[in-house]
Amino acid sequence: MSNKVSPLAGVVGWPIKHSKSPVLHRHWLNRHNLPGQYLPIALPPEDLASGLRKLAGKGYKGVNLTIPHKESVLLTAHSITDRASLIGAANTIHFHADGTIGADNTDGYGFIQNLRQNAADWEPESGPALVVGAGGAARAIVWALLSEGVPSVNIANRTRIRAENLADHFGSRVKVVEWNEVSDATDGATTIVNTTSLGMEGQPELRIHFDAALPNALVTDIVYTPLITPFLEKARERGLKTVDGLGMLLHQAVPGFESWFGHRPDVDEELRQAVLQT
Ligand code: ATR
């Protein structure tokens, strides 16, 4: 008889109620009839380090992290993957058998997988990218675009210094463009991404138009409430190919789930619907 304990994992944030991660991991656990639990865990910033050690002691295999822990966790981790280190944040934590804590970042991976799945003919190396925003999400996405071979990235951000810091961090392939010239900056870009919260339900929309955009530009948003943001709607009206942001959330969860529960899950329409209905 096996004496294996069923695996435990979860998502840690402060607050944690808004997180969709329990719904999607539990969907996969049920779908594949796997033993295990995935729980929401509220930890305030000052308790993150001690809280993670306690979870490891309780037998957790790992956790996902959400606001406000993604950056500060790097101070607690014993090992950090190259991509988490370059992005400067982690969203996936592994509690290793030797008691150490490993930090990884799968947000950029999730971003790319979403485009690969929903825009199969997307060619990152075909031209420059325009990234709107310069926060934590932009950092993961700029890293991912550069890793995929995008020749250069232009960043437009309301607060210019944040865009400049991002450009300095990633080097000469990344340049800053003026926030009030963001529509002009679509000219020549073959990948156009909104990484800001603009367009999210209850937020103002992003003031941009696609009159100058190439007809083969791919336009994507990280906002997924609503699924079709005004940004994507405007791109569609212009006849451009668009990919919504929900798939990034779903795909970033795959590596953690596989590592903790031992099965590589699929991202499909059934999962999308399960998450959309919550
Ligand atoms: P995240 O980690 O989700 O990227 P963040 O680090 O707070 O969150 O970054 C939010 C991004 O949305 C930033 O680029 C921010 O612009 P600023 O750097 O100027 O703050 C952008 N953003 C949020 N609200 C905005 C608004 N009303 N107008 C323009 N940009 C906005």
Mean pLDDT of 215-227: 97
In this predicted structure, the answer to whether residue 2 has a pLDDT above a threshold of 60 is no
Residues 237 and 113 in one domain: yes
Average pLDDT over the chain, rounded to whole?
Answer: 96
Tokens of 255: 């590596």
Q: How far apart are CA 24 and CA 30, in angstroms?
A: 10
Residues 259 and 223 in one domain: no
Q: What CATH number is given to the structural domain containing 272?
A: 3.40.50.10860
Let me know: does 155 contact 190? Beta carbons within 8 Å. Answer: no
Q: Residue 200: which of 234, 224, 171 has the closest Cα?
A: 224
Residues 181 and 133 in one domain: yes
Q: How far apart are CA 232 and CA 213, in angstroms?
A: 13
Read off the pLDDT band of 1 (50, 70, 90): very low
User: 0.75 exceeded by the pTM?
Assistant: yes
Read off the pLDDT band of 19 (50, 70, 90): very high
Q: What CATH number is given to the structural domain containing 207?
A: 3.40.50.720
State the distance from the centre of ligand 1 to the C-alpha of 122, rounded, in angstroms.
26
- List of residues 6+ apart from 156 with CB closer than 8 A: 130, 131, 132, 133, 163, 176, 177, 178, 179, 181, 182, 185
Asked, for residue 2, whether it belongs to a domain, the answer is no
Q: Which domain holds residue 264?
A: 8-105+253-276
Tokens 């963001």 label which residue?
Answer: 182
Q: What is the pLDDT of residues 166-214, one digit of tens each?
A: 999 999 999 999 999 999 999 999 999 999 999 999 999 999 999 999 9
Q: What is the pLDDT of residues 69-95, one digit of tens each?
A: 999 999 999 999 999 999 999 999 999
Residues 240 and 169 in one domain: yes
Burial of 118 (0-12, 13-18, 19+ CB in 10 A): middle
70 is catalytic: yes
Let me know: does 274 contact 27? Beta carbons within 8 Å. Answer: yes
Q: What is the pLDDT of residues 90-130, one digit of tens each?
A: 999 999 999 999 999 999 999 999 999 999 999 999 999 99
Count of the separate structural domains present in the chain: 2
Nearest CA to ligand 1 atom 29: 158
Catalytic residue from among 20, 61, 70, 234: 70
Q: What is the pLDDT of residues 21-45, one digit of tens each?
A: 999 999 999 999 999 999 999 999 9
Residues 119 and 157 in one domain: yes
Residues with CB under 6 A from ligand 1: 133-138, 157-159, 162, 195-198, 204
Tokens of 192: 């156009």
Residues 137 and 64 in one domain: no
Residues 100 and 163 in one domain: no
In this predicted structure, the answer to whether residue 3 has a pLDDT above a threshold of 80 is no
Residues 236 and 115 in one domain: yes
Residues 101 and 181 in one domain: no
Write down the pLDDT at residue 278: 87
In this predicted structure, the answer to whether residue 67 has a pLDDT above a threshold of 90 is yes
Chain centroid to CA 160: how far?
22
Write down the pLDDT at residue 5: 78
The three-state DSSP-derived secondary structure of 135-204 is CHHHHHHHHHHHHCCCCCEEEECCCHHHHHHHHHHHCCCEEEECHHHCCHHHCCCCEEEECCCCCCCCCC
